[in-house]
Amino acid sequence: MSLTSPLFFLFLVFTLLIYFTLPRRYQWFVLLAASYLFYATGGIKLTFCLLLTTITTFFAGLLLTRLEKKNHKKLVLALVLLFNFGLLAFLKYYNFAAAGLNIFLANAGYTLPTFSLLLPLGISFYTFQSAGYLIDLYRGKYRAETNLAKFALFVSFFPQVIQGPISRFDQLAPQLTAPHDLDYDRLKYGIQLMLWGYFKKIIIADRAVVVVNKVIDNFAAYPGSLIAIAVFFYCLQIYCDFSGGIDIVRGAAQMLGINLRENFRRPYFATSLADFWRRWHLSLGDWMRDYLFFPLSLSKPFYKLGKKTRKLFKGKLGKIIPTSLASFIVFFTIGIWHGANLKYIAFGIYNGLIISFSIVIEPYWNRLLQKLGINPEGRFWLVVQVLNTNLLVFCGRYFTRAASLGAALQMLKKTFFSFQPNAVSVQALLNLGLTKTDYLIVLLGSLVILGVGFAQEKGKAIRKTLEQKNWAVQWSLLMAMLLVLVFFGIYRQGFIASEFIYQQF
């Protein structure tokens, strides 16, 4: 059931009706039933994988709380994490690995079979969420959930199960099982947030995708300049698609009285690539920090490496080499997590290298700025940094969108070495599948997002400002937003609501 489908709308209204009319002690049960119904519409068989992760994690959690010896706890944790990440890896990477191995095995006369494996919806998201719960239990952060049904709800909560945000047990679970009264303000906030999400998704992302697919799927036929335009549209698309989807998810949860964490903090205002990743997909970044980066950096091998590098290099450089290496491993992992394809590995390496390198050169860079008389805190340098970061992100997007690593490199080559700026004309743009009105809508829509982002960046709370207007203004604005969606959204001729990009991960 797609979040943009009328069916989802009906499903949400129906769930809200039952949720707020039944006695409050049954509310969490309604959420559980709704979550499994929602998930099962994506395929009954795939629900089995969700159940498997839920059950193994739940019982491992109970065991962790009961076991006394640290070694035993470690073993349980390792086995269950291995099983669940193994399942994820098998479903995600088996065919890729088998195809790769078959090239070598062919000489020896063997071939590994490949299967048509369907990836369960949101498997990465609920696997990460469950693993976080288990690691926290191992670290003694809280006690295990003793009710299987309540735990199942934590893993499967319907708005967030398909594309996050990846939540923490101690923040989400108590909210899911607590009784909630119908709250007019929360309902209104929820609707506003959902409409904002739909605005991003069906007004902008679903238009931008037309240009992106047209050019990138047949990039050989286009000059570098048009490829660059298509990748720029892809940057718009992926932000509006993912953050819009998260707004819809958070809005739906808010209507039910549940606050999900933020996943984006205006990444296009980032001042460095590291800053970008602190603003983009926050819940994955935080997960990687707490469960991969920290343990890795504090592990014995990294500690020993740190001692050696501090001896070899005096000053900051010696201290940050092991941390940079850990961060590089994190980015490599995030790259692989995106999918079984060399282009994602390259994407991880690209980000990891730039970030590690910038940390190493930072002290020298600051000295250079001082010599040039540039104030690193000044507005001029801020703008340069933001533009530079966007350029780096833009180049990185070549890897994630191209069909393969080879295609990404060729597209980059064309952009840099055969740009052909004269090829950009009104007619050339109109040949990419969008009309003049479409381009205008994308432009205006993006400006609205940029304007709202700028105001938020300055610390203005848009919804609080709205709050101070009278109810007629507030509801008129909502209605206007709804009308915009109906008139300029996907329901026009020729447009098909596309699936959200991140739910495939």
In this structure, the dihedral spanned by the alpha carbons of residues 201, 204, 208 and 209, taken in order and rounded to 10 degrees, is: 20
d(CA 399, CA 404): 8
CB of 336 to other proteins, least distance (A): 20
The answer to whether 386 and 269 have CB atoms below 8 angstroms apart is yes
Instruction: Tell me: does residue 143 bind other proteins (CB under 8 A).
Output: no
Q: Which stretch binds other proteins (CB under 8 A): 51-59, 192-200, 217-225, 286-294?
A: 286-294
Please identify, using beta-carbon distances, which residue of 318 and 339 lies nearer to other proteins: 318
d(CA 253, CA 320): 41
The candidate with the shortest Cα–Cα distance to 222, out of 235, 238, 237, 233, is 233
Q: Find the binder of other proteins among 139, 304, 463, 469 (CB under 8 A).
A: 139
Q: Find the binder of other proteins among 35, 129, 177, 297 (CB under 8 A).
A: 297
Q: Which stretch binds other proteins (CB under 8 A): 64-72, 80-88, 294-302, 407-415?
A: 294-302
Instruction: Tell me: does residue 303 bind other proteins (CB under 8 A).
Output: yes
d(CA 178, CA 49): 27
Instruction: Tell me: does residue 365 bind other proteins (CB under 8 A).
Output: no
Q: Which stretch binds other proteins (CB under 8 A): 29-37, 173-181, 289-297, 418-426?
A: 289-297
> What's the burial of 190, exposed, middle or buried (CB within 10 Å: 0-12/13-18/19+)?
buried
Q: Which stretch binds other proteins (CB under 8 A): 106-114, 285-293, 417-425, 426-434?
A: 285-293
Compute how many residues bind other proteins; rule: CB under 8 A: 20
Q: Angle at CA 181, nearest 5°, toward 178 and 184?
A: 135
The encoded tokens of residue 300 equal: 């014995």
CB of 84 to other proteins, least distance (A): 19
DSSP annotation string for 18-37: HHHHS-GGGHHHHHHHHHHH
Please identify, using beta-carbon distances, which residue of 295 and 451 lies nearer to other proteins: 295
CB of 377 to other proteins, least distance (A): 10
Cβ neighbours around 339 below 10 Å, total: 17
Binding string, residues 318-337; x marks residues near other proteins by CB under 8 A: -xx--x--xx----------
d(CA 277, CA 49): 30
> What's the burial of 387, exposed, middle or buried (CB within 10 Å: 0-12/13-18/19+)?
exposed
CB of 502 to other proteins, least distance (A): 23
Please identify, using beta-carbon distances, which residue of 85 and 94 lies nearer to other proteins: 85
Binding site for other proteins (CB under 8 A): 139-141, 274, 278, 289-290, 293-295, 297-298, 303, 306, 319-320, 323, 326-327, 359
